[in-house]
Structure 1
């Protein structure tokens, strides 16, 4: 049994923490929303993030953005200052690689191992314990983390040094955005020309146009059960978060001199969709409505 502190119990963090409890670990939790802590049955709610890191073996965070990660970990009252040298720190937030490296260096300066370990797999993967972790950090720390991550994961990839997990994640999400926008565009074109979206989806799935967005997360209502498109695009991975991640990709592209014309276009599409269609709190597959505004 591992003593684990977990901060950030939102759509992803809550199910992840519940899986750790179910695996028999001793889990302390903290979230600014008290109801979120109550949703992790079997865990011990704490009054602060600092209380979560006191005496634990592993500390995990899942937060919305880089500024939240810096606020949690840095400063005199931050987790880095409060943690024991033996505690392994794991941040599962999706943030910019520079912030991840900066926080990891602050931890290293105190002799504390830290990993950036963003995830892919969405809320369904978080619930099922089938996430993919993209991990940046020291090899020894990654191996130490594996028994804990494996409880929540289908795959754990060591991407490289500090910040590498974040780089891998933003590359993945940029490609995901391009695929989803392209899938929605193709479906709208077919439907506008008289095709049944379910029939067209099956044709493309069995042909060279098949991709995860089409095969597993179809954006057209009525085609696939159990996906956000089947419930008014509620839940899932929000348009606002996809737009944020695409912004991280654009910043990394600029810093590295990388050409990302499709990624840039995808960012503009999702940003415009969120603003014009008031879709920021809908699942990102709602980009289908950008192409078919008449959808229910």
Structure 2
């Protein structure tokens, strides 16, 4: 069986390590707005496409990991019409579920399969090949995409139709942000009670109050040190508020999450 020809667009802090993992197993083509970003991939044997359209025409499987809905729609408007019938688009960006459904419809009109597949684990998870991949799409598309996802993912789950992966990622990230907000409140409460902050943080990390969000919060010197990550989590928290408005659960998560996120992003 011929090797799956893969492609990747969005080779930034998270997408870059994912693409490197793909290159270890599959032929890879990359494209970036800034050509200098592709140099290290070329050195490792990847092909550098001159355009989005050239990449789309060359690949059986394309991963897309750009920042927001507008970028996804702009790239897909150029990419999908150039892709071969029977090929697959994996949408790794975190976006509105409605945008994923819209992209699936575009793909369907060109005979291209699609899975929305946002990920959790960040660059360290991608580098280690241990990411969680949250998938939405048909069973057939999921089965087609899974061999490539296994190059960077450990837990790969089909959650439902197109958009389901986005919904799960948005809930997951909002919960992490809320856990960081709770961590902030807990450590401040401990300090107010005269408990050593560092000692309390170490205790909680080994006790029943632990969470990944707590661990992240405990190791940053002050909220503004997490500004970049907080901006991304704030985007995802706002996405949850937009797709599940008027929900008491959303309001609770949003309130606790933003108690930390706004401090980290605005001071």
TM-score with structure 1 length normalisation?
0.82
Specify whether residues 250 and 232 from structure 1 end up closer, same or farther in structure 2 by C-alpha distance, changes over 3 A only: closer
> Given the alignment of the two structures, is residue 180 of structure 1 paired with residue 180 of structure 2, yes or no?
yes
Segment drifting more, 25-34 vs 264-273: 264-273
Query: Which residue pairs with 1:70 in the alignment?
Result: 73
Specify whether residues 262 and 112 from structure 1 end up closer, same or farther in structure 2 by C-alpha distance, changes over 3 A only: same
Q: SS where residue 237 of structure 2 aligns?
A: helix
Q: 1:220 aligns with which of 218, 221, 246?
A: 218
Instruction: Show CA shifts across 1:1-52 (max 9, x none).
Output: 32111100110011111111122x1100011122321233321122221111
TM-score with structure 2 length normalisation?
0.90
Specify whether residues 275 and 173 from structure 1 end up closer, same or farther in structure 2 by C-alpha distance, changes over 3 A only: closer
Distance 1:267 1:71 in 2: 30
Query: Which residue pairs with 2:9 in the alignment?
Result: 7
Contact 1:122 1:236 in 2 (8 A): no
1:239: Cα distance to partner? 1.5
In the alignment of these two chains, the number of paired residues is 263
Which 5+ residue runs of structure 1 have no aligned equivalent?
Answer: 222-228, 278-296
Contact 1:135 1:164 in 2 (8 A): yes
Contact 2:87 2:113 in 1 (8 A): yes
Query: Which residue pairs with 1:288 in the alignment?
Result: none
1:111: Cα distance to partner? 2.0
Distance 2:168 2:228 in 1: 18
Query: Which residue pairs with 2:251 in the alignment?
Result: 261
Q: SS where residue 85 of structure 2 aligns?
A: coil
Q: SS where residue 218 of structure 1 aligns?
A: helix
Contact 1:250 1:263 in 2 (8 A): no
Give the alignment's Cα RMSD to 1 decimal: 2.2
Name which structure has the greater RCO, CA cutoff 8 Å, separation 6+: 2
Instruction: Show CA shifts across 1:269-294 (max 9, x none).
Output: 355324532xxxxxxxxxxxxxxxxx
1:122: Cα distance to partner? 1.4
Segment drifting more, 8-17 vs 188-197: 188-197
Higher helix share: 2
Distance 1:60 1:67 in 2: 17
Query: Which residue pairs with 1:293 in the alignment?
Result: none
Distance 1:207 1:274 in 2: 26
Which 5+ residue runs of structure 2 have no aligned equivalent?
Answer: none
Contact 2:120 2:131 in 1 (8 A): yes
Q: 1:250 aligns with which of 237, 241, 247?
A: 241
Distance 2:31 2:171 in 1: 30
1:250: Cα distance to partner? 0.5
After TM superposition, the structure 1 = structure 2 runs for residues 127-138 of structure 1, keeping only pairs within 5 Å, are 127-138=127-138
Distance 1:263 1:241 in 2: 16
Contact 2:91 2:118 in 1 (8 A): yes
After TM superposition, the structure 1 = structure 2 runs for residues 1-296 of structure 1, keeping only pairs within 5 Å, are 1-23=3-25, 25-40=26-41, 41-74=44-77, 78-214=78-214, 217-221=215-219, 229=220, 238-254=229-245, 259-270=249-260, 272-277=262-267
Contact 2:231 2:265 in 1 (8 A): no
